[in-house]
Amino acid sequence: SVSRLLYLLQQETSSTELRTECAVVLGSLAMGTENNVKSLLDCHIIPALLQGLLSPDLKFIEACLRCLRTIFISPVTPEDLLYTDSTVISHLMALLSRSRYTQEYICQIFSHCCKGPDHQTILFNHGAVQNIAHLLVSTSYKVRMQALKCFSVLAFENPQVSMTLVNVSVDGELLPQIFVKMLQRDKPIEMQLTSAKCLTSMCRAGAIRTDDSCIVLKTLPCLVRMCSKERLLEERVEGAETLAYLIETDVELQRIASITDHLIVMLADYFKYPSSVSAITDIKRLDHDLKHAHELRQAAFKLYASLGANDEDIRKKIIETENMMDRIVNGLSESSIKVRLAAVRCLHSLSRSVQQLRTSFQDHAVWKPLMKVLQNAPNEILVVASSTLCNLLLEFSPSKEPILESGAIELLCSLTQSENLALRVNGIWALMNMAFQAEQKIKSDILRGLSTEQLFQLLSDSDVNVLMKTLGLLRNLLSTRPHIDHIMSTHGKQIMQAVTLILEGEHNIEVKEQTLCILANIADGTTAKELIMTNDDILQKIKYYMSHSNVKLQLAAMFCISNLIWNEEEGSQERQDKLRDMGIVDILHKLSQSSDPNLCDK
Amino acid sequence: GWDKHSYGYHGDDGHSFCSSGTGQPYGPTFTTGDVIGCCVNLINNTCFYTKNGHSLGKCLFLPSQSNLYPTVGLQTPGEIVDANFGQQPFVFDIEDYMREWRAKIQSTIKRFPIGDRLGEWQAMLQNMVSSYLVHHGYCSTATAFARVTDTTIQEEQTSIKNRQRIQKLVLAGRVGEAIEATQQLYPGLLEHNPNLLFMLKCRQFVEMVNGTDSEVRCFSARSPRSQDSYPGSPSLSPRHGSSNSHVHSTGADSPTCSNGVMSTKSKQSHSKYPTLSSSSSSSSSSSPSSVNYSESNSTDSTKSQQHSSTSNQETSDSEMEMEAEHYPNGVLENSSTRIMNGTYKHEEILQTDESSMEDSCPQRQLCGGNHAATERMIQFGRELQMLSEQLCREYGKNTVHKKMLQDAFSLLAYSDPWNCPVGQQLDPIQREPVCAALNSAILESQNLPKQPPLMLALGQASECLRLMARVGLGSCSFARVDDYLH
């Protein structure tokens, strides 16, 4: 019967009334189950309906649009079907002026089919902003609401759209002002929440300053209210996620949010679903709670992560919230990837606190579930988890020991071989932290685990961060005299080669400085010194950097020299002689008259 | 916050205190330069503080019977605190907060379950509307409403029409005729209600001063039509919230006019015409009326034009009347027809034009500026005085009556009664309570409710809100009866 209906619908000869009725019936069918929609899609209903939009009859157009709307908002319909023909979008834009129904349906279609930057750009380039802006002041609530939703998806993480929106005005009023009006507390919750999302996107894109009163005194408090117990579970999820996004990078907003309406305590309620009451009394309620429980938890973790991103006091407040660490630990082992990811992000944010690393992180043995998360996790989790591990491996962290014992070296070494850049950085970073003031055994374990080939691989990595952290690792490995001598005795040749290579290569100042520092460390060794003294090439390079225009590099080179000529050591006289022969003393004389006090001291 | 029935938020530790020396962790600390606000919500009995415009969330708060007073505690000498009770905009968006609560209360009212059992609710509403229309004598509207909603009207048509006629007379300021008609149609009613009769007579006296009552109007050259004009809405429904009692009273006891007053009057009136003080010598009252005549004529003629298409006959009729008014003798004979005419015209004016009142305002004169009318008024005043004394003998002293009489007579003590401390009485709006009282009495005599159920419900709602306010139920402030009357 569907194909018959479609046939009649497409028949130009059928009367408009009949074709309209067909579209209405098809629309009703689409309202049914997902299978209904699937079978309609299989019959190529979308091209047929899009064709119908070219009719001159408004009633028929509206019926087609209503049906299209119903199909496109179904989760089984691929959004891309809207974008297969670019004339469709421009025709829809043109139809926006026809009636309040075309406005409502088209805006609804756009807001459901706009997924990702590509779609945003297409709609934007077809003039979506100008065509939809005036609908925000429509007399019909439905039209206003759908237009608002359009803007919230168009502007989401899209600086181009966001920057355009701030300057658009309708009836002499700028869009941000219109959004602020829609934020008023007597407006429907859906409207408040959606306009808060628009303003959030605009703020994150830099279109609105973070200290603008419409953010600080309107958007932020509105989003906090959305997290309150009085709101529906869906609204609380969306509110918390949006707020997390809004405050993610701004300390001041984080501070304001943290004191607004007891937000930190309010979020603790997100973990109380399904509540024990609902389980017994009401099956329906339990089902509802269960469905949203994961979403609620991950939203709360995300918001905690944002709140605690920068401010030590806020972190403390979060951790002091009832059972917080237990909740995070539990979250780390949840089946839902979304929750695990959010929990790791939260943990990562909190792990920036030295005090917490030493106390609550230790008390709750956070490293255990974290190590577990690191096994076979998807990359997005690995990135955050390994980054957290970096913090846990800091020298002062009491978790360092047990983490090492649980096979972290191997895991981290494998991360350094990842295709994913962030993982490589985090892997080598964690190793660097691990090697800092570590025992000889750990250092050799790291070297063994990493293998010299991999080390050189990393030193020639295209990413500066990886290179820097690798050099950092080398520097940490090459500290304290016995360690230096030991490592240089086994890997001296390769290391000297690598150092030469980097000093000769095209690298930025920081990299060179780090490399010179490694040389300085080597020069501090007892036997390792000789590797430098016997390498004229290296000595020439040190000499060169002593008269480099950059003070930092001069300083680092000076370190090498002073380590080499240190008086109390055996053979210092010979080394001094050799260096004097090279003309280094002259440079030293020059430097001692230099303007920089640091250099003079040396 | 440490004392009983006190609450506090301390800047040093950020704790909140609820009638106790031990605080609860509440919010951030605050210091010099911070703006701290406190909001007590009497609807749900909660309280929250704000810091620099950010709500810090609910704090412990017990609904208290006693009043709360804002207090700021200072620790070191020389500290300065600025207090803002709303004279400047608040940093915290309290308006928005109130908007939310107003919307909440209004949606509670909107969604209040009415437990509708099969159209019961609708039937009740229809009954409310119908009874209201009937009560105030909107006869044809009530009939039309009954026809559309398929309901029945308890009272008979003629009864409604009679009441309507009487009410119109009162509202037009022709109280004498109204009394006459009441006595005719409802014999015995006023005899049984001496208080009502007295009230009506007092009003009649006031209307005489006003120049609107038929007993003096017949002397006046003013067209009856302009007298008929009744300002404002033709609706008889009472105005809410305005008390009709006279607040102004003067010490003037004397019911008679003093000469001095009249001479003052003469200075204000048009010098061209004989004034009251001089009128004692001349009994020919034709000339003073002419000025009013010409003035009202202009009013009239515009109106005649408006009406001319529909009722030519009427126009000529009124012209004849005006002619007749030059002859004081013809008045009595004409009076009965004029009642009919007047009523009829009154209806017309109600339907078409309400602006004529303004036209007649600037030239107001005592009893329409007519000497004979003034004498009649004074005579009526004496009769009224006698009635008062009689009532006093029969029923004992009545302070309400005394006050009423005093106020009415006081009008004569001023050169311009319309602009005097008791001049409010002359406002046609004051006819409404009299009219309502008479209407209620008639209905009561017919064993019908003296108040329409709609007004009762309205009164109950208003009273309920007043009670709520007295016991401190905050939601009443967001549920004004006026918001629901458009």
**B364 Cβ neighbours under 8 A, 6+ residues apart:** B211, B418
- How large is the average pLDDT for residues A560-579? 71
Summarised one tens digit per residue, pLDDT across range A61-108 is 999 999 999 999 999 999 888 998 889 999 999 999 999 999 999 999
Residue from the list B54, B96, B99 with its beta carbon closest to the beta carbon of A259:
B54
Is the Cβ pair B54, A221 closer than 8 Å?
yes
- The rounded mean pLDDT for chain B is 72
Summarised one tens digit per residue, pLDDT across range A468-524 is 888 888 888 777 777 777 777 777 777 888 888 888 777 787 887 888 888 778 777
- In A219-278, the residues whose Cβ lies within 8 Å of chain B are 221, 256, 259-262, 266
**H or E element at residue B8:** strand B7-9
Residue from the list A185, A218, A262 with its beta carbon closest to the beta carbon of B100:
A185
CA pair distance A216, A253, nearest whole angstrom = 7
Residue contacts between A and B (CB atoms, under 8 Å): 37
Ordered structural domains, chain B, with CATH: 7-92 (2.60.120.920), 156-220+367-447 (no CATH)
Residue B242 pLDDT greater than 70, yes or no = no
- Alpha-carbon distances, residue B145 vs B126, B149, B150, B334 (angstroms): 9, 6, 8, 38
Q: Provide ipTM, 2 decimals.
A: 0.78
- How large is the average pLDDT for residues A300-306? 94
Q: Between vectors from CA A184 to CA A178 and to CA A190, what angle results, nearest 5°? A: 90
Decide: B457 and B219 in contact? Cβ < 8 Å: no
Name the more confident of B412 and B243.
Answer: B412
Per the listing, tokens 């209201």 go with B132
Name the more confident of B233 and B12.
Answer: B12
Return the amino acid letter for B253. Answer: D
* pTM of the entire predicted model: 0.72
- In B289-308, the residues whose Cβ lies within 8 Å of chain A are none
Is the Cβ pair B97, A185 closer than 8 Å?
yes
Whether A188 and chain B come into contact, CB under 8 Å, resolves to no
Is the Cβ pair A261, B93 closer than 8 Å?
no
Q: How big is chain B by its Cα radius of gyration, in Å?
A: 31
Residue A114 pLDDT greater than 90, yes or no = yes
User: A376: exposed, middle or buried (C-beta count within 10 Å: 0-12, 13-18, 19+)?
Assistant: exposed
Buried b (16+ CB within 10 A) or exposed e, B351-361: eeeeebbebbe
Residue from the list A184, A186, A256 with its beta carbon closest to the beta carbon of B54:
A256
Share of chain B above pLDDT 70, in %: 67
Residue from the list A184, A261, A266 with its beta carbon closest to the beta carbon of B96:
A184
Contacts of A261 in chain B (CB under 8 A): 48, 55-57
CA pair distance A560, A582, nearest whole angstrom = 15
> What is the least distance, in Å, from the CA of B69 to any CA of chain A?
24
Select the highest-mean-pLDDT range: A468-472, A550-554, B8-12, B131-135. B8-12
Summarised one tens digit per residue, pLDDT across range B389-408 is 888 888 888 888 888 888 88
Can you give the pLDDT at residue A264?
94
- How large is the average pLDDT for residues A421-449? 82
Decide: B416 and B137 in contact? Cβ < 8 Å: no
- Alpha-carbon distances, residue B370 vs A408, A602, B326, B409, B463 (angstroms): 116, 121, 12, 18, 47
Residue B319 pLDDT greater than 90, yes or no = no
Supply the DSSP string of B9-59, one letter for each residue.
E-TTT-EEEESSSS-EE-S----TT--EEEEEETTTTEEEEEETTEEEEEE
Decide: B422 and B403 in contact? Cβ < 8 Å: no
- How large is the average pLDDT for residues A101-118? 94
Name the more confident of A439 and A48.
Answer: A48
Decide: A126 and A90 in contact? Cβ < 8 Å: yes
Whether B253 and chain A come into contact, CB under 8 Å, resolves to no
> What is the least distance, in Å, from the CA of A186 to any CA of chain B?
4
How many Cβ atoms from other residues are within 10 Å of residue B481's Cβ? Answer: 15
Is the Cβ pair B56, A256 closer than 8 Å?
no
Decide: A243 and A220 in contact? Cβ < 8 Å: yes
Whether A186 and chain B come into contact, CB under 8 Å, resolves to yes
Contacts of B13 in chain A (CB under 8 A): none
CA pair distance B59, B18, nearest whole angstrom = 8
Name the more confident of A181 and B269.
Answer: A181
- How large is the average pLDDT for residues A398-427? 80
Name the more confident of B358 and B5.
Answer: B5
Decide: A210 and A247 in contact? Cβ < 8 Å: no
- Name the packing angle between helices A312-320 and A337-350 (round to 10°): 130
Ordered structural domains, chain A, with CATH: 209-315 (no CATH), 482-601 (1.25.10.10)
Can you give the pLDDT at residue A255?
96
Summarised one tens digit per residue, pLDDT across range B136-193 is 888 888 888 888 888 877 777 788 888 888 888 888 888 888 888 888 888 888 888 8
Instruction: In chain A, count H helices and then E strands.
Output: 41, 2
Name the more confident of B466 and A357.
Answer: B466
Give the bridge partners for B48, in sequence order.
B39, B58
Contacts of B58 in chain A (CB under 8 A): 262
